[in-house]
Structure 1
Amino acid sequence: MEWNLKDLYDGIDSKKIKNDFNKLEKNSLSFAKKYQSKINDNVSPNIVYSALIDLEKIYEGLGKISSYASLLFASDTNNEKVSQFYQSTSEKVSLIRKNLIFFFLDWNKLKNSTAKLIYSSEKLKKYKNLLESERKYKPYVLSEAEEKILDQKSLTSSRAFNRLFDQTLNNIIFNIKINKKQKKMSETQILSLLYDKKRSTRARAAKSLTDGLNSEKRLITFIFNQILSDCKIINELRGYKNPIDSRNLSNEIKLQTVNGLIKACNDNNSIAQRYYKLKAKILKINDFKDYDRYAPLGSSQKKYSFAEAKKIVLDAFEDFSPEMSKVASLFFDNNWIDYGIRNGKRSGAFSHSCVPSVHPYILMNFTGKIRDVMTLAHELGHGIHQYLSRKNGYFQQNTPLTTAETASVFAEMLVFNKLLSNENSDKEKLYVICSKLEDIFATVFRQIVMTNFELSIHERRKIGGELTWEEFNGYWISANSKMFGKSIEISEFYKNWWMYIPHFIHSPFYCYSYSFGELLVHGLFAKYKSEGKAFIPKYINLLSSGSTLSPEKLVNKVGIDISDPKFWESSMYLMKGLVIQAEKIYKKINK
């Protein structure tokens, strides 16, 4: 149930950690001595190549220690010794990074003609996209001294508030009465009850979640305001016009492409509303509320053991690509997955790529529901993607957030089709389709709701002072109302549920990448259905490419143009088709 982190280090007190830190500090100073003032308009491709090789080794070493500290902390945020180790590691890494900051700053000072000559050379072919992408930051980069100050100060600003948010949220106890017994639950456990078959239990869970969050509303509101303020200051210092600009730049996506995605989602909220009206009919609920969205249908109440979930996922992967299944099996065989539920463990799920010399690790909170099977598929998709792209080295192993969701969502789609093909009865097919639609809506429309919420609160903070708790609630309800329309009654409990979403704190404007990834996969899946087995090597190659190409160039290789608004509109067809299919099956069952 818990992962084995010994491929990173044996323990917090391992002498190897201290030795590695000493070695990395020494190497960082040597790097600065060797290359500082050398990255100028007279630099040769050979020197830049040599510098990148040395720099990548140092960053990989730092990444290995950081990964270990981060994974330990995620698995036990209440452990004081682990928290101290996590903080001290962050501080040491920041100090060493300070010696390396000059390289990309100096790279961005080069004339455009010099830079193009360098990254277009055969010697630097491997790093072309990295070097070209870094140049996009040129208008927003500060002086070396200022960059060092910002990096060090982040330990007591954004990073400090990230940690405070995690610890605050993970320490909240949610009280609820179940079967006449008062119980204390974690966030993961209380959220799980929103999927309970009993409406009264779902309603009590919604109230418990609200009450628990309200117990820390002053602190969490303060944390949100500090993050908004930090983003505002950074954006002003760097010269970004819009709060979302820095995220788009790191995602290597143009604003017009993101706007095309958001518009397509906002224009098609009716798909979700149409489905919720159908679900209300299936459940025979006249006043369908927000806490009814995830009510189970029929056998979707079925519980799966982790072993059963493993088999379902691996079989689905095997049907598509034996290579994909083989890589996924490594995660099970070597204890690279932490799936148990514990107090203090971070909620939700993630796959952490770690570093190319090791392998990814997955964290999830497995409760046995069908959505946990999908979550396992999702995170294994990430893990496979990260594992295959290790060959590109530390700098280009990970992709921008937009294409980072490609493999995870594609893996979910494979498992969905496997589950659907295994069902014979119309009722079972209806339940599987409905479950999938709810997952898609959570990934597509809900993530754009969150993005719209973020756009509102960041814009509000940009032109005014701090936001009150009530103002946050108002923006949250406004964003959600547009998605739900008249298909859902928003309960009084729902207004403060922005408070538990970590992406708003850890990675502002992260959320649209989920929607981007889901809809991109709908396009990829359409390609797979039309091309058959000929598509598979193209897909594996796409995953193996890491960030050696920009997202736009990468998906162009499989015939997709993400800059065209028509692509995003056409990606809605799969959802529309599934809703229509569900309606037809429902009518057939209820003749």
Structure 2
Amino acid sequence: MTAVTYSDVWDLDVIFKGGSDSPEFTTHLQKAEHLIQLFHTKVNQWTPKNNLEDTIYLHELLVDFESVAKKLRQAGAFVGCLQAQNTEDQKANQLDSKVTSLSAVFQTALAGFDNLLTSIGDSIWGQMLKDESLIDLSFVLNERRERAKDKLSKEEEALINALGVDGYHGWGQLYDLVVGKIKIPFTENSEEKRLSVGQAFNKFSSPNREIRAEVFKNWEQAWGEQADLLAKTLNHLAGFRLSVYEKRGWEDVLKEPLTISRMEKATLETMWAVITESKELLVQYLNRKAKLLGLEKLSWFDLDAPYGKTESKVSYQEGAEFIQQQFSHFGEKMAAFARKAFEEQWIEGEDRPGKAPGGFCTFFPESNQSRIFMTYSGTPSNVSTLAHELGHGFHTFAMKGVHYLNRNYAMNVAETASTFAEMIVADAAVKNAKNEEEKLVLLDDKIQRTVALLMNIHARFLFETSFYEERKQGPVSSTRLNELMLSAQKEAYCDALDEYHPLFWASKLHFFITGVPFYNFPYTFGYLFSLGIYAKALAEGKGYEEKYIALLRDTASMTVEDLAEKHLQVDLTQKDFWEQAVKPCLDDIFEFLELTKDK
């Protein structure tokens, strides 16, 4: 397809040269700190007159708001990349603390800014938003104003932000530090190795059950040794949140995550109800997979096991070329974006020790570039993950030219774009299979993601819901956390597994992220929402790309219910959409069951 050989190591020097010792980055942080102080001063100097003269001052503050937000996003993205590429980079951890402190100061200034918005009368406010300089920002400004009304006083919110630096966010940073030091022992070719958690996790995709079982045993032991420390960390994170919620008068722990997701509770409840009603077929798949592997039931460490005995690997180069080719069938802009990402070394995929687990895509607004992080070891799942993260990157690319304050889309719609890209590649892989056996291998890999998003994520949601209810009464022990996780997994997987992963709460970063509580259901929403979009794309063909981009550009300036109504003409609070969205997942399972019935 191309003569270009792609590097699987990203280029961060083009952003800030010198890594965690970068003088450029030091200067960047100094500029950010100066701009934050200026913004804070201007906010404190503004006394709204409650007339249309406020429009001018508000517009000026929004210009400063945008400048600071870009600076901090650029800084946070860079530090996140430094920490991910080398978990032993102590200077990067120090920089992370600095960025967190700056962000807290900015949040305090924003709390004051938002509070001022509430002091403007409704009538004048409505007139102000009709001004040419503000009309495009009316949704986000209204949103900030309404959320501010729902919080404490400016002084109290400032205190929360200040205490959160060494309290709330400090516990989150401690988790990252602990995980960076965890090593999983593993014997390969008679050689004793100590794998990072990212490397060890990839072993769960091994076709060799003895390898999976050994890694899982050592995995459980390693996390178990840290369980009490991590339980304390999780309890303090939840305790901080619950204390804030209590002071604000928020009784429902889902209020914050739903508000962040711009989503109604009715939508969430309808989605889970339809998924629960659809699980019988997923259990049939799990039982058939167990039979094909010669087992009575699957264990947790078998869930990512590939079908068949093939050990063929997809090189990074082959994966990159396949992704670009499939994106081009959907639209030229998406393919061009992927090509740019590969050619300009936006992707860190090298399989080496010392990297953080998982994968992510982050955006550098001042450089107008993205960076993608993962550990690529050549499995079909790795190709899907790479496509998934490129989908995130395309989302930010599609919003080019949109006002920066209208680009802060929530996680649930962020996962829509990533899953849409992943679906293009996974679907193509199945359709392009050379024979039935290869088709089954790829179909199985595709269904594994369905199981993860409809069962694993459901378990996370059930666990977090029950944990927060118990945490209201006081700290929850590591033993009890194991019990809650085991119960959630059994319910989510309909008790279809032989052995579960009670320490999953400790090993999953998402429970310890301070920025977004309930970092789970948005994945499932994004997955199924993307399937609804994907169905339209298949029906309309290559010309759908522009409509898809139009949808992406609206993702941060309306609720998800309004987004679906405008671009898909559906009501997300009703079962119809979700039943149609789940159908392709079930069709995959039907096909798998049919092809394997005589095996």
TM-score, reference length from structure 1: 0.94
What's the counterpart of residue 504 of structure 2?
A: 497
The CA deviation string for residues 303-338 of structure 1, in whole angstroms up to 9 with x for no partner, is 111101101111110111011010111111111111
Tell me the distance in 1 between the aligned counterparts of 2:353 and 2:480.
Answer: 31
What's the counterpart of residue 403 of structure 2?
A: 393
The CA deviation string for residues 215-242 of structure 1, in whole angstroms up to 9 with x for no partner, is 1111111111111111111111222121
- Partner SS for 1:451: helix
Residue 545 (structure 2) pairs with residue 550 (structure 1)? no
Tell me the distance in 1 between the aligned counterparts of 2:102 and 2:350.
Answer: 31
1:274/1:109 CA distance change after superposition, 3 Å? farther
Contact 2:458 2:492 in 1 (8 A): no
Cα deviation for residue 120 of structure 1 reads 4.0
Tell me the distance in 2 between the aligned counterparts of 1:367 and 1:284.
Answer: 26
Percent of paired sites with the same residue = 25
Greater shift in the superposed pair: 474-483 or 373-382: 474-483
What's the counterpart of residue 457 of structure 1?
A: 467
- Partner SS for 1:154: helix
Contact 2:467 2:484 in 1 (8 A): yes
Q: 1:333 aligns with which of 333, 337, 343?
A: 343
Residue 193 (structure 2) pairs with residue 186 (structure 1)? no
Contact 2:15 2:367 in 1 (8 A): no
Contact 2:196 2:355 in 1 (8 A): no
Cα deviation for residue 273 of structure 1 reads 0.7
Contact 1:386 1:398 in 2 (8 A): no
AA at the equivalent of 2:559 = S
Q: 1:255 aligns with which of 262, 265, 269?
A: 265
What's the counterpart of residue 71 of structure 2?
A: 61
Q: 2:331 aligns with which of 287, 312, 321?
A: 321
Cα deviation for residue 444 of structure 1 reads 2.6
1:426/1:53 CA distance change after superposition, 3 Å? same
AA at the equivalent of 2:203 = L
- Partner SS for 1:548: coil
Tell me the distance in 2 between the aligned counterparts of 1:109 and 1:31.
Answer: 19
The CA deviation string for residues 162-206 of structure 1, in whole angstroms up to 9 with x for no partner, is 111011012111123344443321112222222222222211111
Q: 2:580 aligns with which of 554, 563, 570?
A: 570
For the aligned residue pairs, the C-alpha RMSD in angstroms reads: 2.1
Cα deviation for residue 39 of structure 1 reads 3.7
Tell me the distance in 2 between the aligned counterparts of 1:582 and 1:164.
Answer: 43
Contact 1:300 1:370 in 2 (8 A): no
What's the counterpart of residue 31 of structure 1?
A: 39
Tell me the distance in 1 between the aligned counterparts of 2:246 and 2:266.
Answer: 22
Cα deviation for residue 103 of structure 1 reads 1.2
Matches within 5 A, 1:9-24: 9-11=16-18, 12-24=20-32
Q: 1:437 aligns with which of 447, 452, 458?
A: 447
Residue 477 (structure 2) pairs with residue 468 (structure 1)? yes
The CA deviation string for residues 131-150 of structure 1, in whole angstroms up to 9 with x for no partner, is 12213313422222222221
Tell me the distance in 2 between the aligned counterparts of 1:119 and 1:244.
Answer: 30
Tell me the distance in 1 between the aligned counterparts of 2:331 and 2:117.
Answer: 41
- Partner SS for 2:355: coil
Cα deviation for residue 356 of structure 1 reads 5.1
What's the counterpart of residue 213 of structure 1?
A: 223
Tell me the distance in 2 between the aligned counterparts of 1:194 and 1:442.
Answer: 14
1:424/1:366 CA distance change after superposition, 3 Å? closer
What's the counterpart of residue 240 of structure 1?
A: 250
Tell me the distance in 2 between the aligned counterparts of 1:474 and 1:65.
Answer: 39
1:109/1:269 CA distance change after superposition, 3 Å? farther
Tell me the distance in 2 between the aligned counterparts of 1:33 and 1:470.
Answer: 49
Greater shift in the superposed pair: 369-378 or 138-147: 138-147
Number of aligned residues: 586
Tell me the distance in 1 between the aligned counterparts of 2:433 and 2:277.
Answer: 33
Greater shift in the superposed pair: 12-21 or 180-189: 12-21
The CA deviation string for residues 66-113 of structure 1, in whole angstroms up to 9 with x for no partner, is 322222122222122222222223324433554444212211333333
Cα deviation for residue 485 of structure 1 reads 2.4
The CA deviation string for residues 257-284 of structure 1, in whole angstroms up to 9 with x for no partner, is 1111222223322232111012122222
Residue 508 (structure 2) pairs with residue 523 (structure 1)? no
Contact 2:440 2:592 in 1 (8 A): yes
Q: Which runs of 5+ in 2 are unaligned?
A: 1-7
Tell me the distance in 2 between the aligned counterparts of 1:25 and 1:190.
Answer: 39
The CA deviation string for residues 362-415 of structure 1, in whole angstroms up to 9 with x for no partner, is 111111111000000000000111122142233222311110111111111110
Contact 1:119 1:128 in 2 (8 A): yes
What's the counterpart of residue 6 of structure 1?
A: 13
Cα deviation for residue 527 of structure 1 reads 1.7
Contact 2:364 2:370 in 1 (8 A): yes
Contact 2:199 2:357 in 1 (8 A): no
Residue 309 (structure 2) pairs with residue 303 (structure 1)? no
Tell me the distance in 1 between the aligned counterparts of 2:208 and 2:462.
Answer: 32
Tell me the distance in 2 between the aligned counterparts of 1:258 and 1:119.
Answer: 31
Greater shift in the superposed pair: 9-18 or 130-139: 9-18
1:73/1:275 CA distance change after superposition, 3 Å? same
1:534/1:336 CA distance change after superposition, 3 Å? closer
The CA deviation string for residues 2-40 of structure 1, in whole angstroms up to 9 with x for no partner, is 322234322344444444444444444443444533345
1:350/1:40 CA distance change after superposition, 3 Å? farther
Greater shift in the superposed pair: 451-460 or 145-154: 145-154
What's the counterpart of residue 5 of structure 2?
A: none
What's the counterpart of residue 208 of structure 2?
A: 198
What's the counterpart of residue 142 of structure 2?
A: 132
- Partner SS for 2:192: strand
Cα deviation for residue 512 of structure 1 reads 0.2
Greater shift in the superposed pair: 9-18 or 395-404: 9-18
Tell me the distance in 1 between the aligned counterparts of 2:57 and 2:446.
Answer: 52
Contact 1:405 1:517 in 2 (8 A): yes
- Partner SS for 1:175: strand
- Partner SS for 1:246: helix
Contact 1:109 1:138 in 2 (8 A): no
TM-score, reference length from structure 2: 0.93
Tell me the distance in 2 between the aligned counterparts of 1:486 and 1:221.
Answer: 25
Tell me the distance in 1 between the aligned counterparts of 2:282 and 2:538.
Answer: 24
Cα deviation for residue 438 of structure 1 reads 0.5
Tell me the distance in 2 between the aligned counterparts of 1:47 and 1:54.
Answer: 11
Tell me the distance in 2 between the aligned counterparts of 1:516 and 1:40.
Answer: 43
Tell me the distance in 1 between the aligned counterparts of 2:329 and 2:127.
Answer: 46
AA at the equivalent of 2:596 = Y
Contact 1:339 1:363 in 2 (8 A): yes
1:344/1:108 CA distance change after superposition, 3 Å? farther
- Partner SS for 1:557: helix
Greater shift in the superposed pair: 539-548 or 19-28: 19-28
Residue 491 (structure 2) pairs with residue 482 (structure 1)? yes
Residue 117 (structure 2) pairs with residue 110 (structure 1)? no
Tell me the distance in 1 between the aligned counterparts of 2:222 and 2:152.
Answer: 42
Greater shift in the superposed pair: 31-40 or 302-311: 31-40
The CA deviation string for residues 41-83 of structure 1, in whole angstroms up to 9 with x for no partner, is 2254333223212221122122222322222122222122222
Greater shift in the superposed pair: 14-23 or 237-246: 14-23
Greater shift in the superposed pair: 380-389 or 511-520: 380-389
AA at the equivalent of 2:275 = C
1:580/1:55 CA distance change after superposition, 3 Å? same
Residue 412 (structure 2) pairs with residue 402 (structure 1)? yes
Greater shift in the superposed pair: 267-276 or 575-584: 267-276
- Partner SS for 1:361: strand
